[in-house]
Structure 1
Amino acid sequence: MGTIAKSRNSLAFFFYHYCHSRDSFHRQNFYYCCSFSATSSKTTNSGRDIVESPNHFLKSARDWCRSRSLRNLDDALGLFDRMLHIHPLPSIVDFTQLLTAIARMKHHSIVISLIKEIELSGIAPDVYTLGILINCFCHLNWVDCDFSILARILKLGFQPNYIILNPLVKGIYLRGKIAEAMNLVNKMEKISYKPDIATYGTIMNCLCKIGKTNEAIELLRKMDEGNLNVVIILIDGMCNAGKLTTERELFNTLLTKGSQANVQTYTIMIKGLCKEGLLKEVMVLFEQMEENGCSPNHFTYNTIIQGFLQHNETSWVVKYIKMMVDEGFSANATTATILINLLSTNQDPSHVYVLGVLMQLQQIA
């Protein structure tokens, strides 16, 4: 009971401080959002009043949220209003599932206001609820509020996890505060919280996107792990940065450590080789991929076709189109756009032939 009261008081203080410290625009927006659930209809998506028992209703609500079929805000607010009038009140788990569904609709301000209503109803949020709250603040670019929530999470004795840390780190990076984000991770490590693969992946992805690939490599060394998903992020970052040599080194390191490269890794490598015009290496890698038991997918084929088109290797384009169609895949919109642009600029008969082959074998998807 003491923990619940403590949680309620701390978050109630936060919301009070928030509403009185933000500028007038944000305060008006916050209070406006808070009015939604008070006026929401007690109906389901069929428009009929809910008359079933509380247990049956909650089971239906859980199933609806878990199935990801809840996509209408009015329906979600109707469920929330009904849940607040059930006695005894549903658990925080039930409310969190509904909040997750609403956050998935990208109504982040409304989620914040609903969490306030849950608090005022006497239900203490758990670490997952607070994770949703942090995520919503990040989407609204209110990162300062995230730190307030993080401080309360630690004060309440919750163990932060990737649900809490990842959105916060990402939000800080998106604001360009790289040192601040790394400082946060370092502080978390000092209090015995070791960031997981997902957190490191988030950091590396942000570093690569802003061109700080060397820092990303250093972070990989610090991890001292060859996790495939993290290495894929780095290989993709090097590809986008045009650092083919580093991309090759990472790819080869992955193979020499005994890790099995997947179709995504091969496709990223093929993309990097295509960008540099190394088409013979592309063909060798494609064969190596199949020999290693990794089947190409539609992304792989489209990447190769686009690369060969851009370097005017139409005979090879036709070959890979036929292979792609034989495997049951089709050209995507990017491939079609490249081909159409080539036709509109130079009217090369070979490009007309390629388009004819493509249309004859399978219509562009």
Structure 2
Amino acid sequence: MKDFNSCPNTFTYNTMLHLLVQKQVYVLALAVYNQMMKSDCRPNRATYGILIDGLCKAGTIEDSINLFDEMTHRGISPDIMIYTVIVSGLCQEKRTGDAKRLLLDTTKMNKCSPDTIAYHALLNGFCKLGGMDEIVSILKCIKNEGFVVGLNGYSCLIDGLFRIGRFREACRLRHNLMSNRNIAPDCILYTIMMKGLTMEGKVEDAVKLLSEMASTGIVPDTFCYNTLIKGFCDMGLLDEARSLKLEISQNDCFPNSATYTILICGLCKKGIVDEAQQIFEEMEKLGCLPTVMTFNALISGLCKAGELEQAHFLFYKMEIGRNLIEHRYRVLELREMTAITTRKLPQRKVLQPSQPMSFKECPNYNTISKDA
């Protein structure tokens, strides 16, 4: 821009920051912010809102609070959206006490009134920790401020009751919502109910809720199916879990890494390691990347089944990625380049990323490590 005799303004920097935060490149976003400060371009409320939101999502709540303090020192008053973001971040770090003080005390000092979304964020944090006394206090605050506890608030409350083992109260509250308050449940509330029912071993009742969703026109999402699949796997009902996995695609959903990981865990617990390996390979072929939990579950299952060589290979695969053969030849080429040899390397067939290796297709791990 300097070549065109123009300098970026606050709007330009905010656009860049928003893009970088969306791409989760938080270090570069902070570098752009520092450049913004060096160029004497004043940040505004939107600038800090973008950065604070990104840092909270990255789990660096202390950096978010530092930016919040810097914002207030510059005379920029935060709005309720920024407060809500920090409250959510504090709750994720299980610092619900700090979140409550920030929302109920600091907002009043800055003449910024909490709204329903902010209260629900705080309510959700306490519900996940099971602090029922604090939950009742927050509900009173919501009503005293003239707000109505909506579906999201009641969903958080039901989830909290399940977490502390108050199963009957959670079911009773859900029944009262539908009968007395005329609040129609959504997919999130149904998923919470299914999770609570499966935790109590009432998987059949959870499946009935799935049918109830269909009758009311609510389409279950993948997370909803995963909750039921986990319930079946925990009880050793693998046939039911398999059928639910097939049902996901029929409802315009797709299994994700959590779906496959849950099934692999369930199969390995039953000692059905061969099928667990097949699911792992199917997962890769469909472009669904396995997580650390996926690898850990299958490696543990292979070790328990005495398949130590394949477990060792999977661990090696986890470290360097899928293209073991390509990695091997790159190492050989680097060695030959270091030795300054003039001979040409023979052409080798390299496995492409679109062709994930199965255990049967891969060479022995010991051979690879020895050659490399």
What interval of TM-score do these two structures reach, taking the shorter chain for normalisation? 0.5 to 0.7
Task: Structure 2: give runs of 5+ residues left out of the alignment.
Answer: 178-182, 315-356, 364-372
Distance 2:251 2:79 in 1: 46
Q: Counterpart in 2 of 1:124? A: 77
Q: Counterpart in 2 of 1:191? A: 145
Distance 1:105 1:264 in 2: 22
Distance 1:120 1:106 in 2: 23
C-alpha RMSD of matched pairs (Å):
4.2
Indicate whether 1:160 and 2:119 are aligned. Answer: no
Distance 2:251 2:85 in 1: 41
Change (3 A) 1:161 1:236: same
> Of 217, 224, 243, which residue of structure 1 is paired with 2:171?
217
Distance 2:195 2:98 in 1: 31
Greater Cα offset, 68-77 or 274-283: 68-77
Distance 1:157 1:213 in 2: 37
Indicate whether 1:75 and 2:34 are aligned. Answer: no
> Of 183, 187, 199, which residue of structure 2 is paired with 1:228?
187
Q: Counterpart in 1 of 2:162? A: 208
CA displacement at 1:114 relative to structure 2: 4.0
Distance 1:102 1:291 in 2: 38
Distance 1:112 1:232 in 2: 33
Change (3 A) 1:248 1:90: same
Distance 2:49 2:359 in 1: 49
Distance 1:331 1:358 in 2: 14
Normalising to structure 1: TM-score of the pair? 0.65
> Of 218, 221, 229, which residue of structure 2 is paired with 1:270?
229
Task: Structure 1: give runs of 5+ residues left out of the alignment.
Answer: 1-50
Code of the aligned partner of 1:71: V
Change (3 A) 1:296 1:188: same
Greater Cα offset, 272-281 or 166-175: 166-175
Q: Counterpart in 2 of 1:100? A: 53
Query: Contact 2:72–2:78 at 8 Å: present in 1 too?
Result: yes
Greater Cα offset, 173-182 or 250-259: 173-182
Normalising to structure 2: TM-score of the pair? 0.64
Change (3 A) 1:217 1:125: same
CA displacement at 1:228 relative to structure 2: 0.5
Query: Contact 2:17–2:32 at 8 Å: present in 1 too?
Result: no
Q: Whose RCO is larger (CA < 8 A, sep 6+)? A: 1
Code of the aligned partner of 1:143: G
Indicate whether 1:59 and 2:35 are aligned. Answer: no
Distance 1:281 1:102 in 2: 41
Change (3 A) 1:246 1:214: farther
Distance 1:307 1:361 in 2: 25
CA displacement at 1:188 relative to structure 2: 0.9
Instruction: Give the 5 Å matches for 1:135-154.
Output: 135=88, 138=91, 139=93, 141=95, 143=97, 146-147=100-101, 149-150=103-104, 153=107
Distance 1:144 1:235 in 2: 31
* Matched length: 305
Query: Contact 1:154–1:160 at 8 Å: present in 2 too?
Result: no
Change (3 A) 1:298 1:184: closer
